[in-house]
Amino acid sequence: MIEFNGKTVWITGASSGIGKALALKINYLGANVVLSSRNKKELENVAKQCKGEPYILPLDLENPDTFEKATQLVVKKYGTIDLLINNGGISQRSEASQTSLDVDRKLMEINYFGTIGLTKSVLSIMQKQQKGHIVTISSLSGKFGFFLRSAYAASKFAQLGFFESLRLEEEKNNIDISMVFPGFVNTDISKNALSGTGVQHGVKDQNQQNGISPEKCAQDIINGIMDNKSDMIYPYGEGPYQYKIFCDDQMVTDFLNNDFNFDILKEKSYNDNAGFGWVQFLNRDVYFEGGMENENFMGSAPDDYERAHRFKTLGYRVHRVDNYICHLEHSRGMNSYPNSMTQHPYWDHNWGLWKTLEKYSQQELKEYYSKQNYLKKYS
């Protein structure tokens, strides 16, 4: 587990919202915190809430000529940069057809070019150190397009492409790269967003008001950093919990049409407090190439383990998302818990098969699946 005590952590966008919450929590964990944003006065207010004397370093992501000097100032003060958290940025609230190209460019300049520019300045230090960690706070808009966020989503998608490539390149230098994709967090990001003409939106979205607190989101992120997670997706909060929902078609329709508002579901749901949930999403082509389901398993258990292990062994990227799973309740069969462990007629057969396949190399797995008769009916 990664520790913060004594480490130098540089946080952009540290004057408010998630960045401020991260700064306060990481400072409390004993790190040397560097606070950056354009708003020096607010940075000073954050510093007053910290233990000791965090380093206040005003920074404008639209001014890349200052990045190298700022980086050297941090190194001069602390001798090292262990963790860079790219949190600074700006959002958008306007339809693409009503958004000027200047606004599109501004969002890209701040969110993409500003972020990667500072990253490159810090990267040279981390390469010399042969260690480091770079965390970039993206958004669910960096995974999926959202209404009124065309340029914002584009800038976040650009971040994803850059940092996933950087992750591969810097593994040899012992530099970790993490991406964070928060959903609705109760900050002023929508209020400070740009309209299509470039003026401040000035209105806080209802989704933002109903979002999780910055402190809660920050704690999720810190937990993910400590566990050295590559990707952290937090749509609605933290915790590997499974919500079982007893609802009708109309409730599901209302839920989908109201920005996935969980309040609509709470009336007929309960928290199962599950330790995990096996929900796996696979690209269709990857699914076929990787052998689909292993029909040599008879019923369930432990086919989920085998599937995840197989695709990872075959070289595909496998991510674990520790978030809410909404399970529409239905009757359970013979293979479902607790029957899966007490009355499953093929339990020994399935576990014997899994223990054999678990030891296979990538080539052995490929050969094994190429010989399966069930694959022929899909070829």
Which helix (H) or strand (E) segment holds residue 311: the answer is helix 303-313
Of 281, 280, 272, 275, the closest CA to residue 327 belongs to: 272
- Residues 139, 119 contacting (CB under 8 angstroms): no
Q: Residues 113, 154: contact at Cβ < 8 Å? A: no
Tokens of 291: 């052998």
Of 28, 55, 112, 152, the catalytic one is: 152
The residues near 97 (Cβ < 8 Å, ≥ 6 apart) are none
How many helices and strands in the chain, by DSSP H and E? 15, 10
Clarify whether 152 is annotated catalytic.
yes
* Paired residues of 259 in beta bridges: none
Single out the residue of 49, 62, 64, 42 nearest to residue 118, CA to CA.
64
Strand, coil or helix: 362? helix
DSSP letters, 274-293, are -S--------HHHHHHTTSS
Alpha-carbon span 20 to 189, nearest angstrom: 13
Is residue 135 a contact partner of residue 85, using CB atoms and an 8 Å limit?
yes
> Which candidate, 249, 365, 264, 353, places its Cα nearest to that of 301?
353
DSSP reduced 3-state for 302: coil
Coil, strand or helix: which one is 332? Answer: coil
d(CA 158, CA 268): 40
H or E stretch covering 219: helix 214-226
> What is the CB neighbour count within 10 angstroms for residue 172?
9
Please check whether residue 143 is in contact with residue 195, taking contact to mean a CB–CB distance below 8 angstroms: no
Where do the H-state alpha helices sit in 89-213?
101-107, 115-129, 150-170, 206-209
Q: Classify 155 as helix, strand or coil.
A: helix
Catalytic residue numbers read 152
